[in-house]
Amino acid sequence: MVLDQRTKKYLKIFALIAFVFILAGCTNNMNADGTLKASRAITEETKWTLSAGIFDFFLVIPIAKGILFINNLTGNILFGVVGLTIVINIILLPIMIKSTVSSQKMQMLQPEMEKIQNKYKGKKDQTSQLRMQQEIQALYKKNDVSMLGSFSMLLTLPIMLAMWQSVQRVKVLYESTTFGLSLGLTPMSQIQKGHWEYLIIIVIMALSQFLAIEINNMMLKRDKNYHPSKTQNSMKSMNIMMTAMIIFFGMTMPTAMSFYWITTNIITVIRTVYIHIHYIEKEQAKKDENVIR
């Protein structure tokens, strides 16, 4: 992938912002036995102050308080987790639309990108590299692809990490039961005791995770002119590995996290389908009509 200097500059800024927040939010919340550390627990009495840290003050504590607020309204902490996950995804929807549209367009252009790159394969001189960059930029411009749109998703990473942290740190969650499942216990510990109902939630989480990863490719295949590139084909094994990693996390973290991932995955699938149909396909249909005229 070839980037112009301005795009590289903004990408560095985005990456730096995300990296700083991610480092701030990577504190371990759990004891070795899988219980929540008392010092990391968030309750209604937890003070919302800067002394908690920048990441906690701006993101984690507000989200956790939101989960507790919905819990007080509904009497079910799981509704708080699911509800806040939905609310946050709605807030982030404009950024996600821009990012998803750019990413999907770029994936559809991968075969043409590879043709340009193969044209200059082995040519390392500055003139050839400049020509290759110019042809790629012309391809992006012709198809109205914004590189910055693809990287705007970096801005959502701190928020999603904060949601992940908040779910882990709400103390009442570890004392709650939903659908006969203890939300604070890990599925692995319960499956080992013969409570196979926990395996069901892991299977649902795994299926939803795989679908959330693959839905983009499934929607791209709706285009009759779409042909997968070598890069996209090589991503299949990575997607399987990512799903396996999420399954491991789901097995070894509180059961509430599985419900969080399922909710996030369902939202991802719905959002991707909506964006592809209402943005990508509609725009492509307009282009086709203009060509016919």
d(CA 30, CA 40): 8
Q: Return the ∠ at Cα 268 (arms to 179 and 232), rounded to 5°.
A: 130
HSE on the CB side for 173, CA within 13 Å?
35
HEC letters along 21-39? HHHHCCCCCECCCCCECHH
pTM, full prediction? 0.73
d(CA 127, CA 88): 47
- Largest Cα–Cα separation, the chain: 68
Residues in the chain: 293
pLDDT tens for each residue of the chain, 293 residues long: 444 444 444 445 545 555 544 444 456 777 777 678 888 889 999 999 888 888 889 899 999 999 999 999 998 898 999 999 899 888 888 888 877 777 777 777 777 888 888 888 888 788 888 888 888 888 887 777 766 555 555 667 788 788 888 888 899 988 888 888 998 888 999 999 999 999 999 999 999 998 988 887 788 777 666 666 555 556 667 778 878 888 888 898 888 889 988 998 999 899 888 888 887 777 767 766 665 65
Q: Is 239 exposed, middle or buried (0-12, 13-18, 19+ CB in 10 A)?
A: middle
- Name the one residue in this structure whose structure tokens are 């990413």: 103
- Name the one residue in this structure whose structure tokens are 């998703």: 153
d(CA 180, CA 18): 38
